[in-house]
């Protein structure tokens, strides 16, 4: 204990602290200056995004299985700890050998700049915040370490660094550290406020007037909602809709400048502006989106009313040439999805969506324009912030997640989910309401069955079906006897196929298997 305390009071620990504060200065100054540049070009966002781009399928799967939609928060915490660790080392190195410390800091600066300028949609000028941040960090490191040298009179210390009493130099060190850390905090907060003030995208989005569709969504029949309290709402409110993407900072697109380019194996290259979409014959329909990373029983699925232009009509104008079998859609920040061409041409109404539940798309869900394709997992179809459609062939191009070990195609697997009771719930004996949802987009759900422990499968009560591309809810009144019990659920889709019992991980093309919920009846 005593030893630890002495070490903590010693110059090595102080040098490590100086390193951490200097790193904070790097990030804070870059954040402040970055308010005038592309948001995705700040060091934290660029480093994190680069890390995400190197994420193999098993790691993405692990991150989502472990942290769910908090995977980004987990990434930030991990990055923060890594940066702090490196900064400690650099602080100590700089204290012992200033020249070596400078080299180390410059090297880190170069890594940051490299990760910034290689982001999609980021220009060379966007390196400026990171460069200025690195220089400011170097100055801060020098400023903080100088009092430590004074106390020691180390060989590398600047000439004339007169010996100081240890107490005086420690006080000077902590004063300097406190002031620098506070300045970094102010710069970072200022940068945040400034970029928020400079961004008018949220305001522009609020001002968008969605046109009236030429084909309104079919009226939602009564009885789509499971009567069991606690089952997910049939329409997912925008604020509760799951969010999955590789974007650490939500892309901010000026709708007036947005343009979609349709090119590749086409007779006619087509360009669409946002105004073109507002002026077009739009259709509206409810579609349930599902993420391929959704584990059995997971909640990475949501149902919304989407407004948009059938991609079929855009392709009719572009006229794909013979041999084309895929459309590679790309977002402004470099994500891409490979969607079979015929899926975008058939009557399932894949759309370029601009509206979600009677609102313009929320920024996190793809403002101003995203794709919505019934029946396919999002990773091969639901490109948000979409700016480019290349008509091509599966043999010639690979999408973002396919390059990282996921499948090139992704039809949604039939899945039933128990929402109530929750796993490990304690429920009173007697009649227990069991309920949930099930989906098999484009095939529909025709049956949901329940099995209690090893009893025979029994049919659950199906809620009203709205369409084949939306989820269908169900309920079951269970006569529960005291003790531990397992509730299993499985669905049958419109093709007559029973959901497979075969357990599969989300990688590479979606999880399968029957969900089993353990409850204790008291």
Ligand X SMILES: Nc1nc2c(c(=O)[nH]1)N[C@H]1C(S)=C(S)[C@@H](COP(=O)(O)O)O[C@H]1N2
- Provide the binding-site residues for Mo ion, judged by CB under 5 A: 244, 291-292, 378-379
Q: Residue 442 CB, nearest distance to Mo ion (Å)?
A: 17
Phi, psi of 317 (to 5 degrees): -75, -35
Give the span between the Cα atoms of 93 and 19, in whole angstroms. 9
Burial of 281 from C-beta contacts in 10 A (0-12 / 13-18 / 19+): exposed
Q: What are the residues binding ligand X (CB under 6 A)? A: 241-247, 289, 291, 331, 335, 365, 378-379, 382-385
Give the span between the Cα atoms of 398 and 469, in whole angstroms. 27
Q: Which is nearer to Mo ion, 138 or 232 (CB)?
A: 232
Dig out the tokens for 232 from the structure: 């997910």
Q: Residue 300 CB, nearest distance to Mo ion (Å)?
A: 7
Q: Which is nearer to ligand X, 101 or 298 (CB)?
A: 298
Dig out the tokens for 217 from the structure: 């969504």
Q: Which residue is nearest to ligand X (CB)?
A: 378
**Binding-site partner at residue 383 among ligand X, Mo ion, none, CB < 5 to 8 Å by type:** ligand X
Q: Which is nearer to ligand X, 157 or 289 (CB)?
A: 289
Phi, psi of 319 (to 5 degrees): 55, 85
**Binding-site partner at residue 442 among Mo ion, ligand X, none, CB < 5 to 8 Å by type:** none
Give the span between the Cα atoms of 33 and 502, in whole angstroms. 53
Q: Cis omega before residue 421 (within 30°)? A: yes
Q: Residue 270 CB, nearest distance to ligand X (Å)?
A: 20
Q: Which is nearer to ligand X, 192 or 261 (CB)?
A: 261
Burial of 120 from C-beta contacts in 10 A (0-12 / 13-18 / 19+): middle
| Alpha-carbon distance values, 34 to 28, 115, 201, 265 (Å) | 9, 15, 17, 39
Q: Residue 78 CB, nearest distance to ligand X (Å)?
A: 19
Among 312, 309, 321, residue whose Cα is nearest residue 273 = 309
**Binding-site partner at residue 149 among Mo ion, ligand X, none, CB < 5 to 8 Å by type:** none
Q: What share of the chain is helix, strand, coil (3-state, %, to 5)?
A: 40, 25, 35
**Binding-site partner at residue 243 among ligand X, Mo ion, none, CB < 5 to 8 Å by type:** ligand X
**Binding-site partner at residue 460 among Mo ion, ligand X, none, CB < 5 to 8 Å by type:** none
Q: Residue 302 CB, nearest distance to ligand X (Å)?
A: 6
Q: Residue 469 CB, nearest distance to ligand X (Å)?
A: 15
367 Cβ neighbours under 8 A, 6+ residues apart: 201, 205, 253, 255, 360, 361, 385
Evaluate whether 287 touches 441 at the Cβ level (below 8 Å): yes
Q: Residue 242 CB, nearest distance to ligand X (Å)?
A: 5
**Binding-site partner at residue 410 among ligand X, Mo ion, none, CB < 5 to 8 Å by type:** none
Q: Residue 49 CB, nearest distance to Mo ion (Å)?
A: 17
Phi, psi of 300 (to 5 degrees): -85, 60
Q: Residue 118 CB, nearest distance to ligand X (Å)?
A: 17
Q: Which is nearer to Mo ion, 241 or 379 (CB)?
A: 379
Evaluate whether 439 touches 425 at the Cβ level (below 8 Å): no
Q: For the CA atoms of 418, 420, 426, 427, what is the dihedral angle to 10 degrees?
A: -120
Q: Which is nearer to ligand X, 68 or 190 (CB)?
A: 68
Q: Which is nearer to ligand X, 164 or 245 (CB)?
A: 245
Give the span between the Cα atoms of 242 and 103, in whole angstroms. 44
522 Cβ neighbours under 8 A, 6+ residues apart: 426, 427, 428, 429, 482
Phi, psi of 516 (to 5 degrees): -130, 125
DSSP for 399-468, written as a single string:
-TTGGGT--S--BPPPEEEEEESPTT-EE-SEEEEEEEEEE-TTT-EEEEEEEETTSPPEEPEEPPP--T
Q: Residue 264 CB, nearest distance to ligand X (Å)?
A: 19
Q: Which is nearer to ligand X, 95 or 242 (CB)?
A: 242
Give the span between the Cα atoms of 327 and 315, in whole angstroms. 10
Q: Which is nearer to Mo ion, 291 or 350 (CB)?
A: 291
Q: Residue 365 CB, nearest distance to ligand X (Å)?
A: 4
Residue that the structure tokens 């429920």 belong to: 427
Q: Which is nearer to Mo ion, 236 or 463 (CB)?
A: 236
Q: Which is nearer to ligand X, 115 or 329 (CB)?
A: 329
**Binding-site partner at residue 519 among ligand X, Mo ion, none, CB < 5 to 8 Å by type:** none
Q: Residue 407 CB, nearest distance to Mo ion (Å)?
A: 12
Phi, psi of 390 (to 5 degrees): -105, 120
Q: Which is nearer to Mo ion, 71 or 349 (CB)?
A: 71
């Amino acid at each position: 204990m005593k030893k630890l305390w002495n070490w903590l009071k010693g110059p090595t620990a102080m040098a490590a602290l100086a390193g951490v504060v200097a790193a904070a200065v790097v990030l804070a100054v870059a954040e402040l200056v970055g308010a005038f540049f592309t948001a995705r070009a700040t060091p934290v966002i660029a480093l994190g995004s680069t890390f995400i781009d190197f994420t193999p399928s098993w790691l993405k799967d692990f991150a989502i299985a472990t942290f769910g939609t908090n995977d980004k928060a987990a990434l930030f915490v991990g990055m923060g700890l890594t940066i702090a660790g490196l900064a400690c080392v650099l602080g100590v190195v700089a204290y012992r050998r200033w020249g070596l410390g400078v080299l180390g800091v410059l090297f880190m600066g170069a890594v940051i700049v490299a990760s910034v300028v290689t982001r999609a949609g980021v220009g060379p000028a966007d390196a400026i915040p990171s460069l200025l941040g690195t220089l400011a960090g170097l100055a801060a490191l020098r400023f903080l370490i100088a009092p430590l040298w004074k106390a020691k009179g180390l060989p590398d210390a600047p000439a004339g660094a007169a010996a100081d009493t240890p107490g005086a130099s420690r006080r000077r060190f902590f004063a300097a550290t406190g002031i620098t850390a506070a300045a970094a905090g102010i710069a970072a907060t200022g940068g945040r406020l400034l970029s928020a003030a400079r961004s008018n995208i949220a305001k522009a989005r609020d001002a968008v007037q969605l046109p009236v569709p030429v084909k309104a969504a079919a009226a939602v029949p009564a009885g789509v909602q499971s009567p069991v309290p606690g089952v997910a709402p049939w329409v997912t409110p925008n604020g509760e809709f799951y969010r999955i993407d590789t974007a650490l900072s939500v892309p901010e697109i000026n709708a007036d400048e947005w343009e979609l380019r349709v090119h590749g194996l086409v007779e006619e290259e087509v360009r669409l502006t946002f105004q073109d979409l507002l002026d077009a014959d739009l259709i509206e329909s409810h579609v349930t989106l599902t993420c391929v990373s959704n584990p059995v029983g997971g909640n990475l699925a949501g149902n919304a009313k989407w407004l948009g232009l059938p991609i079929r009509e855009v392709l009719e104008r572009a006229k794909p040439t013979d041999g084309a079998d895929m459309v590679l859609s790309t977002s402004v920040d470099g994500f891409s999805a490979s969607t079979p061409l015929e899926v975008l041409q058939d009557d399932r109404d894949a759309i370029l969506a601009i509206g979600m539940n009677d609102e313009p798309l929320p920024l996190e869900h793809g403002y101003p324009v995203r794709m919505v394709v019934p029946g396919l997992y999002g990773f091969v179809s639901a490109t948000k912030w979409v700016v480019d459609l290349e008509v091509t062939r599966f043999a010639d191009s690979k999408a973002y997640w396919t390059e990282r070990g996921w499948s090139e195609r992704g039809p949604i697997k039939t899945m039933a989910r128990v929402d109530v009771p929750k796993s490990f719930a304690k429920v009173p004996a007697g009649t227990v309401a069991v309920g949930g949802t099930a989906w098999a987009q484009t095939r529909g759900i025709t049956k949901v069955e329940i099995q209690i422990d090893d009893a025979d499968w029994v049919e659950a009560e199906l809620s009203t079906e709205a369409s084949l591309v939306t989820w269908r809810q169900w309920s079951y009144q269970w006569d529960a006897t005291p003790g531990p019990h397992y509730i299993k659920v499985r669905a049958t889709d419109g093709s007559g196929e029973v959901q497979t019992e075969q357990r599969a991980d989300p990688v590479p093309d979606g999880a399968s298997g029957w969900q089993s919920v353990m409850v204790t009846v008291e």
